[in-house]
Structure 1
């Protein structure tokens, strides 16, 4: 079992300052999203498993920077790095072979943070198809071979009034909460993963419902790969702890490609690892591929983002920023009296409506 990584504990008189969490100026505490359990008395730190909206001291920030500098000083040799990108799907296939659907829990927070998934209305832009839309800019063509005319071709979910696409669905920790919530609403869910074993776990699950969901194997990193729906047909694109597994050199192409499939007015919902998260600080020397990009012992990879990087990434894909938050929390092991600092990024980005 992996050992818990700890921030160094200060004497008791200093802990109050180290673990303080500041309230937002508005009405004394920050509103949703990202929770509202605020630690105001450090003596209460072990009363709950998680505390929200945590502020870091300069001492904690410097400690995190030093840990990252230390664990990234020794990088994996360049000659060995390519395999982690080329064989990424094989490494994740091995992950799901070992863990099946028991590693991650269903995401109970999903609809609280992303209520956009439950709407029954399409975005407020009128979509006017343009000739050859499916062939422009190297966009993938329809699986059914319609000649690029996405408005007339048959495809799974064509009759749906609202379409969601999750990339990197894994064993279905977002898929099954969404399926349970969209039955009878006119919505349809597409989900994919580049691990065939992960997709098989989803399709073999008793909660899988082909009438409202289409699961398929797909590597979104490959620009020429086909997708089972036309460009500008999606209301929501969902990226939950997926982009961090993609080589940093490929991430911009992936986001731009996904933006192409959003309807004008559609939204992309994003959540992933943030810089100096506990998991980044845990890495040992010799696991770093490039700056803030690491490979785990099983060959899967992970990148740790900042707000500025996220802003530029989605802006460059032509999307408007609705939300871009750094989610800092204290995760508490009450039995072992261990405090762990987590950092996640969360964002919402909209595809602009065309000018009249």
Structure 2
């Protein structure tokens, strides 16, 4: 998530801009400012680590020129600027006027009242804090709120996995903020929204799983089924089954063609193909041009002498039954492959797809007989 969320954070402070270690950062502030309300020594470090792991690395600088260089060089991500009060007084007005990518400011200062006058015009995008822990807790909560909003946007466009990632990250931020905030009551409103059997995380996961299921239906895209010149042989049962299969399978997996030249058909063949036809001359020509390794032929032909090395069927129902058998076998083959590599969920879905095809075809056949 840190590399993908589009956020870049700069911390500008004369005293900490050259400090790299979080513990040294904490100790420096302990020396300069009032004690942190009895918080455990590791609270600052944990919050900083959470921020960097879940949101974005923080770039520390000690002067305005270095901060502006970082802002100018970052042209794609939105920027959060954390600053001391003294440096903030000079940089915030300039940045708000010239660099809209900096969308949020957090001022960390020993005496907030000393900076209220200059900060007031920027209250819509600026917050001020006297303790670094309070600042970091608020920062985590603010970004958690933003991530929940982004996750809901992805839910609205059926992007379940992207939504889930934002929601899970927001959950982590909320938990870390609660763990560090020993002064105020635990804030659970957003956690309640995210968690639970009907929470946003579960809803996003369900949407992701549904998307996986839809993608799984299309796995037979690696093979093609083409029916050529069979319209005159079709009966109502065969027509219903072929129509169902065309709806059930992904586009261009099952194609029906009448009165097309061999060139037209060859242009459709870009993967291993099962060809079903009554046109022996066309079948032979296609086999010569495509090769037996890329083309399997299934034909209605009473006279076996007319067809060499081809699977023969006496009528359209038998031919369509073979089509169903091949598609079902492909689903089962893929399920076995996924189960061997421990993709159990995909394997289960694929087995259900095979069973669904068999069940629906039996229903169609029974309905035509009744």
| Higher normalized contact order (CA 8 Å, seq sep 6+, divided by chain length) | 1
Say whether the fold is shared (TM-score over 0.5): no
Compare the two structures and name the one with the higher helix fraction. Answer: 2
Return the TM-score normalized by structure 2: 0.19
